[in-house]
Amino acid sequence: MHEDRETARVEAFSDGVFGIAMTLLVIEIKVPSHELVAAQGLAQSLVALWPSYLAFLTSFVTILVIWVHHHWIFALIRRNDHPFLYWNGLLLLFVTFMPFPTALLAEYLLHPEARVAAHLYTGTFLAISLAFDALWRHASRRLLAPNATIAKRDEAAQITKQYRFGPPLYLAAFGVSFASEAGSIALCLLLALFFAFRGWPGGK
In sequence order, the 6+-apart residues with CB closer than 8 A to the CB of 176 are: 122, 183, 184, 187
Q: Residue 159: which of 132, 181, 183, 192 has the closest Cα? A: 132
Backbone angles phi, psi at 123, to 5 degrees: -65, -35
DSSP letter for each residue of 92-106: HHHHHHTHHHHHHHH
Tell me how far, at minimum, the Cβ of 100 lies from a copy of itself, in Å: 5
Piece of the chain touching a copy of itself by CB under 8 A; list 111-119, 125-133, 163-171, 173-181: 111-119
For a copy of itself, the binding residue among 73, 91, 103, 139 (CB under 8 A) is 103
143 vs 173, which CB is nearer to a copy of itself?
143
Tell me how far, at minimum, the Cβ of 168 lies from a copy of itself, in Å: 24
Long-range CB pairs of 113-118 (<8 Å, 24+ gap) are: 114/181, 115/177, 115/178, 115/181, 117/181, 118/177, 118/181, 118/184, 118/185
- Per DSSP, the three-state class of 144 is strand
Piece of the chain touching a copy of itself by CB under 8 A; list 79-87, 127-135, 156-164, 180-188: 79-87
d(CA 119, CA 165): 20
Is 123 among the residues that bind a copy of itself (CB under 8 A)?
no
For a copy of itself, the binding residue among 54, 91, 92, 176 (CB under 8 A) is 92
Orientation of helix 114-142 relative to helix 82-97, angle to 10°:
160
The pattern of x and - marking residues 41 through 70 that bind a copy of itself according to CB under 8 A reads xxx--x---------xx--xx--x--xx--
For a copy of itself, the binding residue among 39, 48, 81, 190 (CB under 8 A) is 81
Binding site residues, a copy of itself, CB under 8 A: 2, 4-6, 8-13, 15-27, 29, 31, 34, 37, 41-43, 46, 56-57, 60-61, 64, 67-68, 71, 74-75, 81-83, 85-86, 89, 92-93, 96-100, 103-104, 107-108, 111, 113, 116-117, 120, 196, 199-201, 204
